[in-house]
């Protein structure tokens, strides 16, 4: 018998892993907060300005989303009570899917319970052991998990480097795969920069591959009327949007073809074997989708603040990622130093979480500042004032 089984407590591996993380300053713990309004929260009985949430438009506190959520609950109850293929498809699910397809100018749409679930279950529905997946080097963990589950071979191209992707494709088409899938985020969750959607569509068509784009951080704030960077574009097999970020709610959806939708309803386990999204969630999403196209002014203001903050932080001497979204990462490098800056900000009334490996590559620990259209100039100027003091001290 294996000596490990004889001599060790069967939970030793857990203690060891946690001790290792403690030693490397990357132990994670849950911090309890209570939201106050769109940009302030209470933590340990203190009010803090939140610069870490993905609620880019402050919709999680919008009265029309709250009201729709209440109304849908009143009418349909608190739960969908079954999976979509059993008795969990209500008229509100179908109508929302039709609305999403229409606003994104796509043939069809399908709801998923979370973006994480969608990525982990969609990718294995598209590729198998005989396939190849080519993904950006910095894709989100949920995409990686989907690739691992698919058992496909996979390679990463350098971040946003389409000439590297082109090289990999040139080679791959000669290697006899049954399918090749290109997958990336449109807005990178930890970098805030964007991929070249048109360039990817062109390569996908040139090499006859599947193309899957995760538009989680763009939907609501980028593209025409905020409908994301993949709306109104043909040549993308699956675009994923999420509702837990700019939409201020919860869940995810894809836009796709009618054919692909029919296939996934039949062959995608993470769609089939799970309870449908609850009415309260559908209500808030529905209200948000009605509201978002009218928020051009908020998106313009947000864009101005993004430029302002990036320029100010660069002027102060911080290493700021080249972001074109409300995600403005400041690279600190060392994990302890990133924690120190986060703690300094918190002591002074600002919540800005440190992001450390393995979420980001080694030696690139960072503070991921996230802006919302609800941040007022005084919030932003206070953040810059603190960062100046910290840098000077």
Ligand X SMILES: Cc1ncc(COP(=O)(O)O)c(C=O)c1O
Helix (H), strand (E) at residue 134? strand 132-136
Q: Which of 51, 116, 271, 369 binds ligand X (CB under 6 A)?
A: 116
Using the rule CB under 6 A, is 223 a contact of ligand X? Answer: no
- Nearest approach in angstroms of CB 46 to ligand X is 26
Beta bridge partners of 132: 153, 180
Q: Which stretch binds ligand X (CB under 6 A): 38-46, 90-98, 111-119, 362-370?
A: 111-119
Q: Which of 106, 140, 233, 374 binds ligand X (CB under 6 A)?
A: 140
Using the rule CB under 6 A, is 90 a contact of ligand X? Answer: no
User: What is the token pair recorded at 380?
Assistant: 């932003």
Nearer to ligand X, 69 or 114 (CB): 114
For residue 185, indicate whether it is catalytic: yes
Q: Which of 69, 142, 256, 284 binds ligand X (CB under 6 A)?
A: 142
For 208-248, give the secondary structure using H, E and C: CCEEEEECCCCCCCCCHHHCCCCCCCCCCCEEEEECCCCCC
Nearer to ligand X, 275 or 348 (CB): 275
- Nearest approach in angstroms of CB 281 to ligand X is 11
Active-site residue, from 97, 136, 185, 298 = 185
Using the rule CB under 6 A, is 241 a contact of ligand X? Answer: no
- Nearest approach in angstroms of CB 240 to ligand X is 7
Instruction: Count other Cβ atoms within 10 Å, centred on residue 38.
Output: 19
Could you tell me how many residues of this chain bind ligand X (CB under 6 A)?
A: 14
- Nearest approach in angstroms of CB 359 to ligand X is 10
CB contact set of 44 (below 8 Å; sequence gap of 6+): none
Q: Which of 108, 123, 133, 252 binds ligand X (CB under 6 A)?
A: 252
Pairing of strands 210-214, 180-185: parallel
Active-site residue, from 62, 140, 312, 379 = 140
Nearer to ligand X, 142 or 284 (CB): 142
Nearer to ligand X, 84 or 140 (CB): 140
Q: What's the gap between Cα 361 and its chain centre?
A: 17
CB-side exposure of 307: number of CA atoms within 13 Å?
5
Rounded CA separation 277/89 (Å): 9
Nearer to ligand X, 302 or 380 (CB): 302
Closest CA to 59 of 226, 245, 335: 245
Distance between start and end Cα atoms, the chain: 59
Backbone angles phi, psi at 126, to 5 degrees: -100, -30
CA distances from 59 to 78, 114, 230, 300 (A): 21, 18, 22, 16
Beta bridge partners of 181: 133, 210
Nearer to ligand X, 247 or 380 (CB): 247
Using the rule CB under 6 A, is 185 a contact of ligand X? Answer: yes
Active-site residue, from 214, 237, 286, 298 = 214
Give residues 195-214 in contact with ligand X (rule: CB under 6 A).
214
Active-site residue set:
54, 140, 185, 189, 214, 217, 245
* Interface with ligand X (CB under 6 A): 114-116, 119, 140, 142, 185, 189, 214, 216-217, 242, 244, 252
């Amino acid at each position: 018998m294996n000596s490990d089984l004889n001599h060790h407590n069967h939970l030793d591996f857990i203690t060891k892993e946690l001790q290792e993380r403690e030693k490397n300053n990357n132990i994670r713990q849950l911090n309890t907060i209570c939201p106050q309004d769109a940009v302030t929260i209470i933590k340990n009985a203190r009010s803090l300005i939140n610069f870490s949430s993905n609620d880019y438009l402050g919709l999680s506190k919008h009265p029309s989303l709250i009201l729709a959520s209440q109304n849908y609950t009143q009418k349909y109850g608190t739960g969908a009570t079954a999976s979509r293929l059993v008795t969990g498809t209500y008229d509100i699910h179908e109508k929302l899917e039709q609305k999403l397809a229409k606003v994104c100018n796509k043939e069809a749409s399908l709801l998923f319970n979370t973006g994480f679930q969608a990525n982990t279950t969609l990718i294995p529905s598209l590729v198998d052991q005989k396939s190849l997946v080519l993904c950006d080097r910095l894709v989100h963990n949920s995409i990686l998990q989907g690739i691992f589950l698919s058992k496909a071979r996979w390679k990463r191209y350098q971040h946003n480097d389409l000439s590297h992707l082109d090289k990999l494709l040139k080679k791959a088409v000669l290697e006899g795969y049954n399918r090749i899938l290109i997958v990336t985020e449109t807005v990178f969750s930890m970098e805030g920069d964007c991929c070249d959607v048109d360039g990817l569509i062109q390569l996908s068509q040139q090499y006859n591959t599947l193309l899957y784009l995760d538009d989680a951080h763009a939907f609501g704030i980028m593209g025409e009327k905020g409908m994301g960077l993949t709306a109104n574009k043909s040549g993308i097999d699956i675009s994923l949007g999420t509702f837990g970020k700019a939409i201020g709610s919860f869940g995810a959806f894809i836009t796709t073809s009618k054919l692909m939708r029919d296939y996934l309803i039949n062959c995608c386990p993470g769609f089939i074997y799970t309870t449908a999204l609850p009415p309260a969630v559908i209500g808030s999403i529905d209200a948000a989708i009605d509201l978002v196209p009218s928020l051009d002014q908020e998106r313009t203001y947000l864009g101005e603040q993004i430029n302002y903050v990036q320029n100010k932080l660069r002027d102060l001497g911080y290493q700021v990622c080249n972001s074109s979204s409300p995600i403005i990462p400041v690279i600190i490098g060392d994990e302890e130093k990133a924690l120190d800056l986060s703690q300094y900000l918190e002591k002074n009334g600002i919540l800005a979480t440190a992001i450390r490996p393995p979420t980001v590559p080694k030696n690139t620990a960072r503070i991921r500042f996230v802006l919302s259209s609800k941040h007022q100039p005084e919030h932003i100027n206070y953040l810059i004032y603190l960062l100046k003091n910290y840098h000077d001290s």
